[in-house]
Structure 1
Amino acid sequence: MALRRIQKELVDLAKNPPLNASAQPVSDDDILHWKGALTAPDTSAYKGGTFQLTIEFPPDYPFKPPSIKFTTKIYHPNVDDDGTICIGLLKTEVWKPSTKIADVLIALVDLLQNPVPEDALQSSIAQVYNSDRPVFEKTVREWVKKYANSK
């Protein structure tokens, strides 16, 4: 079931790629292991940044969510130091089998636009986000320039 579903989603992604996001298998031999990329929207503090992801589909996908991590360092309240992402959509108790990887990619692009400090993995970053937005945005720009291939 998982392989057929993932192959169908791969075809759908090629036909209708989500805005500011892409994903594909790392190799033809392993359809469960993907790499992805997010390009931050121009209206985001992360603008100019391209962020790489690893995407691991479980054997029982779509009944369990994929595991997704940032491999690009990012200063974000919802992403911890090892790239783990806190987003409601990927939580096992919230995940729905009807959710597609394109939906997840769109949600991750939105997370770049709209951090959720009340669901933070990095409470110190959330505190800066909530209390001093100019400092938060300055730090984001510095990290984008340093780590996310900013122009």
Structure 2
Amino acid sequence: MDGATAALAYAKNVHKQRVEKEVRTLPNTMYPIVESVDKHLIEHSYTIKCRSMTAPLEGVAFVIIADLSVDYPFKPPKVKFDTKILHPNVEKEGEVCIPILAYDNWKATCTLENIIMSLMVHLIEPDTNRPISLEAAELYMKNRPAFFTQLKESLKESKEPTKAK
């Protein structure tokens, strides 16, 4: 085995061990925020059922999908909601755009736990300085009760995680 092949095999093994550990421990370290983590039908993707513990979304459950490709943790994972939501930091198809996931801000030491905690903060306190959805940012700034009512309704449309077979 040449050096490049050995390095690639080593990197894949490190990736696998880290992802398995993070996924396995997440419901224990973040209980009751994380209710379940299941392998998604797509390779390297996981469905994570979360529950907000902070007002005004307290008790609202939702599902995110985290794509922990072979580049993780050296590149940020893609994280998205399983349903479309109206939020300043979420694209139309559900992809989350928060600072911790930006390529320039990403650190290999960041974990799924860090990402979920940052996501929970941004759900309640969106970054309106760099919104993805101008409509959602405007609603948040002008009428927060209406914004959170719409956000709660869209989050309630989340599906239950689909386990891999």
Q: TM-score, normalised by structure 2?
A: 0.75
Which residue number corresponds to residue 30 of structure 2? Answer: 17
Checking the alignment, whether the CA contact within 8 Å between 2:27 and 2:36 is kept in structure 1 is no
Q: Distance in 1 between matches of 2:15 and 2:78?
A: 14
Q: Distance in 1 between matches of 2:144 and 2:152?
A: 12
Among residues 114, 117, 124, which one is paired with 1:106 in the alignment?
A: 117
Deviation at residue 79 of structure 1 after TM alignment:
1.1
Deviation at residue 132 of structure 1 after TM alignment:
2.4
Compared CA separation, residues 139 and 10, structure 1 to 2 (3 A): closer
Q: Distance in 1 between matches of 2:59 and 2:18?
A: 33
Checking the alignment, whether the CA contact within 8 Å between 1:49 and 1:148 is kept in structure 2 is no
Deviation at residue 117 of structure 1 after TM alignment:
1.4
Checking the alignment, whether the CA contact within 8 Å between 2:91 and 2:133 is kept in structure 1 is yes
Describe the superposition over 1:5-32 as per-residue Cα deviations: whole angstroms up to 9, x where unpaired.
Answer: 11222233244225512553416994x2
Deviates more, 1:34-43 or 1:49-58: 34-43
Checking the alignment, whether the CA contact within 8 Å between 1:39 and 1:51 is kept in structure 2 is yes
Q: State how many pairs are aligned.
A: 146
Structure of higher CA gyration radius: 2
Checking the alignment, whether the CA contact within 8 Å between 2:46 and 2:67 is kept in structure 1 is yes
Percent identity between the two aligned chains: 26
Deviation at residue 36 of structure 1 after TM alignment:
0.8
Checking the alignment, whether the CA contact within 8 Å between 1:41 and 1:47 is kept in structure 2 is yes
1:43 corresponds to 2:36: no
Which residue number corresponds to residue 144 of structure 2? Answer: 133
- Secondary structure class of the residue paired with 1:73: coil
1:89 corresponds to 2:100: yes
Q: TM-score, normalised by structure 1?
A: 0.81
Deviation at residue 83 of structure 1 after TM alignment:
0.3
Describe the superposition over 1:72-113 as per-residue Cα deviations: whole angstroms up to 9, x where unpaired.
Answer: 332211112200111000111110000011111111111222
5+ residue gaps, structure 2, are: 1-13, 160-165
5+ residue gaps, structure 1, are: none
Checking the alignment, whether the CA contact within 8 Å between 1:41 and 1:113 is kept in structure 2 is no
Which residue number corresponds to residue 72 of structure 1? Answer: 83
Among residues 31, 49, 64, which one is paired with 1:53 in the alignment?
A: 64
